[in-house]
Chain A
Amino acid sequence: MKKSLIAIGMSISILLAGNAFASTGADTDKQVNQQNQDKQVLEEGIVEHYPFETDEQRRLFKILTEELRCPKCQNQNIADSNAGVAVDLKNKTYQLVKEGKSKQDVIDYMIERYGNFVHYQPPFNWITIWLWLLPGSIVVFMFVSLVKRKSNQQDNANNTSQESDELMAQVEDILASKPSGESQSSGQSQSKGKS
């Protein structure tokens, strides 16, 4: 039990250390730089094409266009995509945000027309509940089976020691009952012990 906990703790810390190590790598530094540059270009583009009066609205627009998914192109948000429908949705988002609609209002507007597909955050219902339940239940299942296996092994170990104790007792009985002829008796007891 204690050992398994230690093992889990070790593996988690190794994973964390690995992550920390990876993020200090030179290659990823370049990547991060590139990403930051891309982001800057994107943000300048947003400021240029979609002017807002308040920073709050600009931030909301940015969040929304990154969270809404282009219904035409499979795995791009509408900020990244230049497909016709993505441009339309961006313009609509801009219009709604300028009208002072809240984040949830805009998301509801889009979902009403394009379904849940359009939002990267899936809703919580009886179909999607497995997205959360399944990984959790797998972890629980693995933990339970690990603990069970450990206790089984201990039980087995206890059983075998009991058996051998009984056999030793038998051997001692036999040795005690036949004291005459040492070499003979030892040979007999060995063969009996084996059987």
Chain B
Amino acid sequence: MKNIKLILPIVLFLGVSVFFFKGLFSDPKNIENVQVKQSFPAFKLHDLMDSDRYYDESSIKGQVTLVNLWGTWCITCRIELPFLTQLKQQGVRVVGIYYDNAADSVFGDVDINKTRKEVSKMLRQLGNPFEFNVYDGKRDLTLDLGVTAAPESFLVDADGTIVWHRRGEINERIWQQELGPLYQSLLSKVEK
């Protein structure tokens, strides 16, 4: 009984210390995306450059695909475009979901022709990694994916299941440490 009285406060103190110590290094912004391990949400959206060509969730299935959410208004997207282009040259399939800045679309519909001009200019300058871009004008797909800001990326396997998600840009380090190995393992699964 006396032992418990001595040990209990020490154990409690250590437990609380470990809890707070871990808190020092935890990132409060790193909120897990709930779509990971779910199948890619259903959608039907037209091509960014061609309003008559439509895509849906089956357009993403069939190959391991990196889905990237971006916009010309997003500065970090500008930074990651060259690296994504590099990945495309290595054979990675990249599909873009383009969405307007919420602040812009508050003032009514954004002029898509202006957007198209900006997009083609930016892709000419920095490289075009995208097989195609869908235009999420109403941002329903963006919401369905639980996106909080641009850029965000999802790795989708050949069955159309989201296996990985990242907030922020994809760069050399992320590719080497996380995304690359995962991509290779998914590829080898497909080949089997």
A-side residues, CB < 8 A to B, are: 71-72, 74, 82-85, 87-89, 92, 112-115, 117
Q: Which residues of A contact B32 (CB under 8 A)?
A: 115
Q: Residue B29 at the A interface, CB < 8 A? A: yes
- Within the complex, which residue of A72, A82, A92, A112 is in contact with B148, where a contact is CB–CB below 8 Å? A72
**A71 lies within 8 A of B143 (CB):** no
**B34 lies within 8 A of A85 (CB):** no
**B31 lies within 8 A of A115 (CB):** yes
Given contact pairs A83-B149, A85-B149, A88-B139, A113 touches B28 in the complex (Cβ within 8 A): no
Bound complex: CA A88 to CA B146 (Å): 11
Q: Which residues of B contact A84 (CB under 8 A)?
A: 101-103, 149
* Centre residue among A71, A82, A83 by max chain B CB count within 10 A: A71
Question: A72-B149, A115-B34 provided; 17 other pairs, C-beta below 8 A?
Answer: A71-B146, A72-B148, A74-B28, A84-B101, A84-B102, A84-B149, A85-B102, A85-B148, A85-B149, A87-B102, A88-B102, A88-B139, A89-B143, A112-B34, A113-B143, A115-B31, A115-B32
Q: Residue B49 at the A interface, CB < 8 A? A: no
Can you offer 28 A-B residue contacts whose CB atoms are under 8 A? Answer: A71-B31, A71-B146, A71-B148, A72-B148, A72-B149, A74-B28, A82-B103, A84-B101, A84-B102, A84-B103, A84-B149, A85-B102, A85-B148, A85-B149, A87-B103, A87-B106, A88-B142, A88-B143, A92-B143, A112-B34, A113-B34, A113-B143, A113-B146, A114-B34, A114-B146, A114-B148, A115-B33, A115-B34
B-side residues, CB < 8 A to A, are: 28-29, 31-35, 101-103, 106, 139, 142-149
Cβ of A81 to closest chain B Cβ, rounded Å = 11
* Centre residue among A74, A83, A88 by max chain B CB count within 10 A: A88
Q: Which residues of B contact A114 (CB under 8 A)?
A: 34, 146, 148
Whose C-beta in chain B lies nearest to the C-beta of A85? B148
**A113 lies within 8 A of B144 (CB):** yes
Cβ of B100 to closest chain A Cβ, rounded Å = 10
Cβ of B167 to closest chain A Cβ, rounded Å = 9
Interface SS of chain A:
helix
Given contact pairs A74-B28, A74-B29, A115 touches B146 in the complex (Cβ within 8 A): yes
Bound complex: CA A112 to CA B35 (Å): 9
Cβ of A82 to closest chain B Cβ, rounded Å = 8
What 7 A-B pairs come out closest when comparing CB atoms? A84-B102, A115-B34, A87-B102, A72-B148, A113-B146, A71-B148, A85-B148
Whose C-beta in chain B lies nearest to the C-beta of A115? B34
Cβ of B45 to closest chain A Cβ, rounded Å = 16
Q: Which residues of B contact A82 (CB under 8 A)?
A: 103
Bound complex: CA A113 to CA B144 (Å): 6
Cβ of A85 to closest chain B Cβ, rounded Å = 5
Bound complex: CA A115 to CA B149 (Å): 16
Whose C-beta in chain A lies nearest to the C-beta of B33? A115
Cβ of A12 to closest chain B Cβ, rounded Å = 26
Bound complex: CA A47 to CA B31 (Å): 32
Q: Which residues of A contact B143 (CB under 8 A)?
A: 88-89, 92, 113
